[in-house]
Structures are given as C-alpha cells and as structure tokens.
Chain A
Amino acid sequence: MIPVTGSAKVKSRARKPRLPSVAAPLLVLGVGNALLTDDAAGLVMLEELARDTGNDNAVEYLDGGTQGLALMGRLSGRKAVVLLDAVSLGSTPGTLHVLRFPFVHPMPRATTAHEGSGAELLRFAALVDELPEQAWIIGIEAGCVRTGIGLSGPVTAAIPRAVTAVRGLISNLKQEYCDVPGDPR
C-alpha cells in the first residue's frame, strides 16, 4: 500500500518514478488542473487507483498535471497507455467515456488550463512513432470548471464507475501484455 494522507493537498501521491529505470509496460496517466474543480477528474481517478497498487511492477501510475508535450517521454517503451482526463463532449456532466485511439471525436477538453490536451499528446506521439500499441482515454464529462479544489456532485458520483472501468481495462491489458493473471478485483 502507498501511504495516503488527507485529500486537500495537491501534491501527487502517485508512485514516484525512479531514474533511470525500465518503463513499466502499462502507464496510467492522470491529467488535469488540480485547482479548477472538475478539470481534476483524471487526477482524482488516479488517486483512487494508485491507492491500491501494492508492488505491481506492470503498471506505473503518473500524475501528469497540466503538462502536455513534456509528458511524451513518459510514453516511451510502453505497451499501453491509459489516459485519465476530464472531457467536454457535450454529454451530461458525469457521463463516462471510454475511447480508444485513434479517436473519431476532435476530443475537446473540459478546460484550457492545460499546456495541451491529452488527445493532442497522443497525436504528437503517433507522429514520431512513440505511441504505445494501445492508447485509451477514460474521460468524465465535466460539469463545472472554475477556480477551486474539489469535484462537483455529478463528477464525484461518476468516480467509482470510472475507477471500476479502468481496473477492468488494466486487467485486460495485463493479460494481453504482461503474461500475468488478471486482477481479481
């Protein structure tokens, strides 16, 4: 277990990367702005997931914050990346979107306080052959994006469903790429 403390801090509790090291085959990358309410949906999902990872060497959980292109190096050498994010696809706030690259949607983000959107990061990576074999976005439709810490009601309510979906996806990806039994959860 990763020790977890109170929830109001913005510092990452995701596992710290070691350097230099071999990249874990699966990367779960949360992005979003921790200071813009629902924009942080991906970070909150990540926090939940990173809580129960144990000593799983197959998956790295990374808090990407609001960075864009600068995260490209973290995709190198992976089999799959699962991007957790807030999205703005015109559905009801709290709607869960599970999307696989390449996307049919233009993928607008919930807000613009990002250096670049996660979808754009994946497109740049594809351009220089740095994209893992599989790339997914687990997105929650944002309701409210304004200055503040904490999610709105509909997005908070969507977190458990989203986390379950990510766990299922990770379990499948592990079986596909890591030659390990799936996570029984």
Chain B
Amino acid sequence: MKRVLVDPITRIEGHLRIEAMLNDHNVIENAASTGTMWRGIEVILEGRDPRDAWAFCERICGVCTTVHALASVRAVENALAIDVPRNAQIIRNIMELTQYVQDHVIHFYHLHALDWVDVVSALKANPKATADLAQTVSPHWPTSTPGYFTDIQSTLKKFVESGQLGIFQNAYWGHPAYKLPPEANLMAVAHYLEALRWQKDIIKIHTVFGGKNPHPHYQVGGVASAISLNGDNAINIERLNLVAKLIQDADAFVNGVYIPDLLAVASFYPEWTKYGGGLGSFMSYGDIPLNGLNDPAHFRFPRGVVLNKNLAEVLPVDLADPEQVREEVTHSWYTYPNGQQALHPWDGVTEPNYTGPKPPYQQLDENAKYSWLKSPRWKGHAVEVGPLARMIVGYASGNTEIKEVVNDALGRLKVDASALFSTLGRTAARGLETKLAVGWLQAEYDRLLANLKSGDTTTADTTKFSPSTWPTDAKGFGFTEAPRGSLGHWVKIHEGKIARYQIVVPSTWNASPKDAQGQHGAYEAALMGTPMADPRRPVEILRTIHSFDPCLACASHVIGPDGRKVAEIVVR
C-alpha cells in the first residue's frame, strides 16, 4: 500500500499533517490527520481576570481573532448571568457577519480557487472570448471588456516571466485534474485580483465598531462602542453611513462575482459531488441571535445535530450537558487522570504525554497516539462542523432562507440534495452562507438603526462588571459559529480569577484523530474513497482538505511505497 504524506500547517493548532494510504488503484483507503504542535493556550489564561480573557483569546489565531474574543466574553457573561443590551447584540452580529463575508471570500479566491483554477492556462485565453464569458456569468459586473482581460493577462504574464510568481508558485499547473477552459481560468484570475482589492475595505466595519483593527475591542457586558448619532467623539451617523456603503459594496461583490464564479467553476467539476463527503454527521451550535443567546429558536443559523445524512431529524445540542460535548485522548498525546476516556470541557485537562517518534519522522503509527489534537465528540459521535454543517442543519430544520439558497444552487447545478455531501458541496455551502451573511448584514444594520432611532443608545450593561458583585464560584460556556465552524469556550471562575479555561475550536472537531471506538475525524473520513490521478501531485487531497478551510499553507511531502520521498512541494 502506498502512503502519501501531506505536511500542511494550520494556524489554529500549529502544524497539520495528513498521511493518506492508497490501494493498488491509487484510491485512498485510510487516512491519518495529525496536529504536530502543542499549543495549550489555556494555560496562559489560568489565574487571570476573566474580563481580560478576550484580549488574550483574540491573539490565538490571525484569522479567527474576533470570534475567539466573542466566544470568550460570552463565556464570562454566561458564568455571571449577564445579558447584553440589544444594541450590543446587534453590533456583535454585524462584526461577526463582516468576518464571515471577508473570510469566506478570501478563502474561495486566495486559499481554495487555485485548486480548481489553472493560472498558467489563463495565459492561453482569448480576451474577447473571456469578455463574452464574463458578461454571461456576471452580467451586472462592470469590469468585463476585452481590453480589461488583455491587461490582466499581461500583468499575469509579467509575473510569470519575472520569476516573481510568488504566491502562484509551486502549484500543480497543467495537472490533468484541472478542467476549466483557458477563458474561465482567466476570468477567475481577474476576480482573484479584484477580490484582493475589495477585501481590504470591508474590515473597516470592525474599526468603526471595535474602535480599532486589527484586534478590535470587546467588552464583557456589551460592546466598547459609545453611540451618539449627532456627536463627534462616538459612533455617529457619518460612521454608520460608511458601514452602510461597505455593506452595499460587499453585496455587489458577493452576488455579482463570488456566487456566479462559484457556480461556474462548480459546473466543470461534477465528479467532485461524489467525493469528500466524509462523516455525513454534522453539528452547529447556531448563532446570530435575534433575541438573545438563551433563545436558539431565534438564531439566524439554527442549532442542532444531523446524524448519518438523515435530514428528517435534527437533534438538540446543550453545551452545558456533561454527556454531550466531550473530548477523548485515546489517539492524542495527552493523559487523563484515573484512566478516564472522555471529559466535558468544564472538567477538561490538558496534560501532555508525547509518545510519538522524535521529529522529523517519516511515518506515524495511526494505531497508537498520533496527534496533538484531542478528539471532540458529540454524545460519542464524530461530527463535522463548518459551513456545510450549518447549511445541512439549517436545511434539515426547515429554515426558509437556508432552504431557498440551497435549493436554488442545487437547481442551477442540476443535482439533488445528495450532492451536498461532498467536497464540492462543502465549498458551495461556504458561498451560499456568504450570500446569506451579506443579506443579514444589511438586515442587522437596519435593526441597529431602527433601535437607535427609537432612542435606545445603550451598548453595555456594567451592573455586574465589578468582581464584588460576583459569586465565589461560577462557571459558564460561550459559543459562536465561527466561519470555520462551532467554537466553544468553557470557563470556571473562582474568587474573581480564571480557575480553568478550555477551548474547543472548529479545526479540532474536523481534524481530530480517531477516538476510542475507532471513529475517524472529519478530514480523515472525507479523504477515504477518493481516487488520485497522480500520487506525486496530490491535488485531490488538497481539494478536500482545503474545502474545510483549515487555513493552511502546506508543504507537501509525497512519499513513495518504499518510504522514499519522491516529491516535495510547497502549496499555498
């Protein structure tokens, strides 16, 4: 059996490494996902003031800054029974939805598109034919003339010829798995560049509401933004108008370019609705509350679990129930006290116990411990989290808005709902929820303005800000549906300080190793059954792993059956 090794890197948990085992027909039969770096970030939080925890959590990861801060303040508020005012809830929703839109667009164009789009082939495109294609695919988008595409092509040519290919370097250009005609490749490259320019503006919404960006301010009890519509030193109508303009621009880009590109690219890869489905079980904590966090029935993203592709049943989720979310360490480099196998995060223990080979190593033993990631499970089930999980849970819950965008896309691609359980389904789900997010951004903005105009400008409840008002012991959980999936923070507070803090991030759910029952994590399961055209150039593995958005820059080492390294490629 051949063993293909991809040694990529995530930014949440350190390094991520994938080993795929192929049969004689080059089909993946088994896979092992390994987190190769211990972070143990929770240790830094113990003994600190719980009101400061968000500022540390914001520094855990570059992409997920705001979502960690949000989960952290929610955990502390849950522990201390603090309800945030309506404005604060809406502003948090706006900041989170902004994160969704920016993050997903960057993922599609700058982290994932080049798995499907051949940049070098774009040099062969006819600019006139590309313009015709662009006007058909994106009829409302202004930059689609032959002259425009000629310019893009010459920019690209300059880059390729100068040897400064940089970000386009070391990909599998010319691989037979690339199916787009040159014109579609050129159009996609043009939009790749436009997305780069567009993304730098939308994040200004965080600057308006968070006071600064990067690392906007959060606050236990609300948001750290004073509002005075006609004032100079607070969020005023001028700044809100800037937000409105940025939302309009985002809407134009997402609906005018991203979604049409997504559907156009997807139509060339129908076989990818058959591979990469994986577990078929999904979880969403739900998020974007309309009526507070204690009312999940009024979340824009519904909460629930769908098991074994059964869209007829959505099971309830409770983050406080010690029998539901639990982490196992059977195949992880940790030890639990007294031989315990699974612990709820409130009782979580992060005691490292490395038993693997001394790095650098060629191969890991997937029958022993093989990862620094724990294995989170829901009632013992392995579940996938992220955009596909949210769309599946929403679809199965009968959510009208989610059903509408999903059914519309399935209709355009002429496939049925079973196509969702695939690599392409996951990539499409991310686009569809971006379409929803940009619409919800406008809706949340309208709610904010209506509430402000009614005279309510309160943005924080500080009645329980002083530790003198707190009980000696308290515990809470905070959650959010981060762009990459369900994120949970669990905190225990003792005499005003953090006594225990545990974070379970989306990538741990998806990239986890096997559990005590031998159930694979989502990445491992999704790779199985995928045929590879050329194991030396494992573009198929990258397509599926990137579809989860692990935010990875990966160095791929491809190992032949004799363990000899036959190729080494750095892929972005």
Contact = CB atoms under 8 A, between A and B. Distances in A.
A67 interface: yes
Contact of B65 (A65, A69, A102): A65
12 contacts: A10-B56, A12-B212, A19-B204, A35-B44, A65-B62, A66-B11, A66-B65, A69-B106, A70-B102, A71-B214, A124-B196, A128-B193
Closest 5 A-B residue pairs measured CB to CB?
A: A73-B200, A66-B62, A115-B62, A123-B166, A112-B9
Interface of A: 9-12, 16-17, 19-20, 33-35, 63-73, 76, 102, 112-116, 120, 123-124, 126-128, 130, 146-149
B64 to A, nearest CB: 9
Contacts of A130: 197, 200
Contacts of B203: 70, 73
Contacts, number: 117
A139 B242 CA distance: 36
Contact of B40 (A64, A66, A147): A147
A124 B214 CA distance: 18
Contact of A11 (B55, B193, B208): B55
Contact of A69 (B14, B40, B110): B110
A127 B44 contact: no
Name A's interface SS.
loop
Nearest to A120: B167
A72 B62 contact: no
B61 A113 contact: yes
Contact of B14 (A63, A113, A127): A113
Contact of B215 (A12, A102, A146): A12
A68 B551 CA distance: 11
A68 B201 CA distance: 14
Interface in B8-47: 9-11, 14-15, 38-41, 43-44
Given A120-B167, A148-B44, A10 B199 contact: no
Contact of A124 (B39, B56, B167): B167
B171 to A, nearest CB: 15
Contacts of A11: 55, 215
B63 A115 contact: yes
A94 B60 CA distance: 24
Given A10-B56, A35-B56, A66-B11, A112 B553 contact: yes
Contacts of A149: 44
Given A147-B39, A148-B44, A70 B164 contact: no
B560 interface: no
A72 B63 CA distance: 14
A128 B39 CA distance: 35
A124 B102 CA distance: 16
Contacts of B196: 69, 72, 124, 127-128
Contacts of A16: 211-212
Given A17-B207, A35-B44, A114-B62, A67 B214 contact: yes
